[in-house]
Each structure stands twice: as structure tokens, then as C-alpha cells.
Structure 1
Amino acid sequence: MESKKLRQNWVGQIFSSPGGKASRGVSILISKNMPFKSSNVHVDQEGRYVIVSGLLQNEMVTLVNVYAPNSLQSKFFTSLCPKILQSIEGPLIIGGDFNSVCDPIHPLPSDKNISAALRDFQSELGITDVWRLVHPDAREYSFYSGAHNSYQG
């Protein structure tokens, strides 16, 4: 199993949603020095997300890792949102690869419905892109897509 490759000296718990042979798959790793007791784990069978709720240092929290598909993102975000809403216990922390951007400063040349779906996803969950909040005008990106001829951040 791929999650065994993630086991390191510092890792105490691994919550994984493995993908296919060389695609997809997400994990949430919890340090063995971080007191965490899971109460609810939802694992996507296609390796697109993992949702874990539990006590983190005696506070309820929900952790989510997402790997959105390269296509059909609107459908993906629309179906993922209720699953997250059903699982929320305490503050919500989401990370991952959304394969899209939601702010109009850096639009992708692809279908604008994708960006709108991601903005709706953020709005429905009440979440904020913290990096973009702190750096609203920064022209820094995490990835260049040759297929889309655009930078993504």
C-alpha cells in the first residue's frame, strides 16, 4: 500500500485515499508529537479527497486534503461540498491541489465556470485562501501549465 511509503519517524497517524497506479491519491499525516484522536474519517474511493474530524490538542477540528480532477471540476466541487459540510466538527482546514484558481486576477483560459464553481465552493464552506488574502496582488505561482499556457497559484 502506498501509505506505507509515507511512514517516517515523525509520523504518528496516516489517513489516506489512494489513487490509481500513478495518478491521484491524497493523505493527511499527523505528527506523533501532535495529540490527535480521530472521530470521523471519510475516504474517497477514487483518491480525490480524505476528510478527517477529531480532537487536535483537545479541540475539535476537521482536516481535508483534496486532489481535484483536471476536468469536470465544477461537478467535483459541487459533489464534494455537501460531504465536507456533513463532516465539519470545529474549525475547517483544507489543503491540496484544486487544479484551478478562483480569483479573477489570475484566470485560466479554460471554462470560467470552473473558477465560479471554486468560488462557490469557498463561499459555501466559508473558507478563505489565506495565501491570497495576505498577498492579494502578488504575481507568484506554484505551477506553470504548458497545456493551458498559464500560471497557477
Structure 2
Amino acid sequence: MASSQSHLPLRFISWNVKGINNPVKRTRVFTHLKSLRSDVVYLQETHLRSSEQIKLKKPWISQIFSSKFEDRSRGVAILIRKGIPFIPLSTVADTRRRYIIIQGRLYGKQVILANVYGPNWDDPNFYCTFLKHLPDLTESHLILGGDFNCVLNPQLDRSNPKPDSKISKAGNVLKSFMQSYAFFDPWRDKNPASKQFSFFSPVHRSYSRIDFFVVDNRILPKVLDCQYNSIVISDHSPVQLDVNFYERC
């Protein structure tokens, strides 16, 4: 696994899996996550009831944090690999199963791990509510990831943008939040003019980059790599973020 040796980075993977109720698909998803050497996993659209969270338990996973509800719509989860010294302190789980926020300590540093599955319509109020639930951001490092269902730059983050394409209201809320707190999309920071996509919409016959991470400006220099893996199993690409948590930040 990625951090089994002291000089290897901590690897975060965020992935919209589009449901893991089917045992065959679930096995394929977890086999792929293990092959990616995942340390901390953010899953969106698990489609698991509260009583089915046991299906997320695997021999290489030590901690599971998930949204709880009695239907199979939506669903998010954060999984921590065995050997990762994460100490949870508080958890906020959305009753609509669209986000989960965990405050804790990781390698002696105070962190906020936040996983979000945004609505697939333009809903700025959702992001206003979600962002208000984040704990004190001045005291903790933030690693936010997920399927935001919106883009931060329509011209670069969509395959076929219209010349007059503007950022959505939801995207504006998120972008304003990032600018206010000096938070960054690490992939875009490393690829300021590139195009790469995480999702293909068969309805619109277009690609978009709606899956990404957001980190604070103290974590950003410790980001060794941020990349999109191949679209397999789901119709979303797993997003990979490698962070050197062993250095002072």
C-alpha cells in the first residue's frame, strides 16, 4: 500500500462508483481500489442502506465512515486503510446522503476529510449548506473530494463548451469559497491550461471534469501528484491525490 513505507506519500482516491450493491461489481471496485494502492478512499453513489454498510468492510480497511439512510439512493463513504494513523474526533453526515465530513488527526496533524456528491442540477443552496457544515478551517488542513456535478472552468473542464459558457451558480459558490480561504484544485494547479475529463455523459455526448479534490494552501506544496485514472467499472474516473504528510505543513 502507498504509505506502508515511511517515505511514500499518502494516497487519496475519490471515485463515483455508481452503486456497489451487486457483489460482482463490488468485488471489482475493491480489487481496483487495492490495485491503485489506496490509503484513504472517498466513494460517491454507494447505493447502500445503513444496514448494508458491512459490505464496505474489507481485510485491508480499518475504518469506515458513511452516510446512513434506509433507501439506496445516493450514499457517500470514506474508507481508511489499515496502518493509517487516523484518529476521528467528530463526524457530520448529511441526512440526504450527499456528504460526510470527518474532523480528526492524521500523522499528528489536524485535518478535515470531506466527501461530497453534488446534485446533478444547478443547486447553489446545497453548496452553501454543505460548506457551512465544515469545521473551523483556520485550525485544520482540508482535503475535500468528490463528484461535484459542476465545473470550475467551463471552457477547460468541458469537452464541447459553448463560446459563451458561464460557470453555474453552484460552481460560483464553490469557487468563491475556494478564493476566500485560499483553497486550490491541485490537478488544475499542476495543469493550468490542460484538458482532461472524469465523466462521459451519453445524454449530452460530452465529457466533463466534475470529479476533483480541493486542498488548503499549506497542503498544496506537499501534493506530489494528482491524476485521473482510466474510466473503468463506473462511468467516472477515479481521481488520485498523493500527499507527503510526513513533512511539516
Question: For this structure pair, what is the TM-score category when the shorter chain's length is used for normalisation?
Answer: 0.7 to 0.9
1:24 aligns with 2:74: yes
Letter in 1 for 2:63: Q
1:69 aligns with 2:125: no
Letter in 2 for 1:120: S
Aligned length: 153
Question: Given that residues 154 and 166 in structure 2 are in contact (C-alpha distance below 8 angstroms), is that contact kept between their aligned partners in structure 1?
Answer: no
Distance in structure 2 (CA, Å) of the matches to 1:27 and 1:88: 25
Instruction: Work out which of the residue numbers 85, 88, 98 in structure 1 matches 2:148.
Output: 98
1:14 aligns with 2:37: no
Distance in structure 2 (CA, Å) of the matches to 1:113 and 1:4: 37
Q: Secondary structure at the match of 1:62?
A: strand
Compared CA separation, residues 99 and 3, structure 1 to 2 (3 A): same
Corresponding residue of 1:123? 179
Aligned-residue offset at 1:5: 1.1
Compared CA separation, residues 136 and 78, structure 1 to 2 (3 A): same
Structure 1: 5+ residue stretches without partners: none
Letter in 2 for 1:123: Q
Alignment TM-score, normalising by the size of structure 2: 0.55
Distance in structure 2 (CA, Å) of the matches to 1:88 and 1:41: 18
Compared CA separation, residues 127 and 113, structure 1 to 2 (3 A): same
Aligned-residue offset at 1:2: 3.2
Q: Percent identity?
A: 36
Distance in structure 1 (CA, Å) of the matches to 2:133 and 2:147: 18
Compared CA separation, residues 44 and 86, structure 1 to 2 (3 A): farther
Instruction: Work out which of the residue numbers 196, 209, 224 in structure 2 matches 1:140.
Output: 196
Aligned-residue offset at 1:150: 3.3
Compared CA separation, residues 97 and 88, structure 1 to 2 (3 A): farther
The CA RMSD over aligned residues, in Å, is: 2.3
Compared CA separation, residues 119 and 6, structure 1 to 2 (3 A): same
Compared CA separation, residues 138 and 111, structure 1 to 2 (3 A): closer
Q: Secondary structure at the match of 1:24?
A: coil
Query: Computing the radius of gyration over CA atoms, which structure comes out larger, 1 or 2?
Result: 2
Structure 2: 5+ residue stretches without partners: 1-50, 210-249
Aligned-residue offset at 1:89: 4.6
Distance in structure 1 (CA, Å) of the matches to 2:68 and 2:137: 20
Question: Given that residues 66 and 98 in structure 1 are in contact (C-alpha distance below 8 angstroms), is that contact kept between their aligned partners in structure 2?
Answer: yes
Q: Secondary structure at the match of 2:59?
A: coil
Aligned-residue offset at 1:74: 0.8
Distance in structure 2 (CA, Å) of the matches to 1:76 and 1:88: 23
Compared CA separation, residues 38 and 85, structure 1 to 2 (3 A): closer
Q: Describe the superposition over 1:23-63 as per-residue Cα deviations: whole angstroms up to 9, x where unpaired.
A: 31111111121111111111111111111011112211110
Q: Describe the superposition over 1:51-92 as per-residue Cα deviations: whole angstroms up to 9, x where unpaired.
A: 101111221111000011112421111111111144775100
Aligned-residue offset at 1:16: 0.3
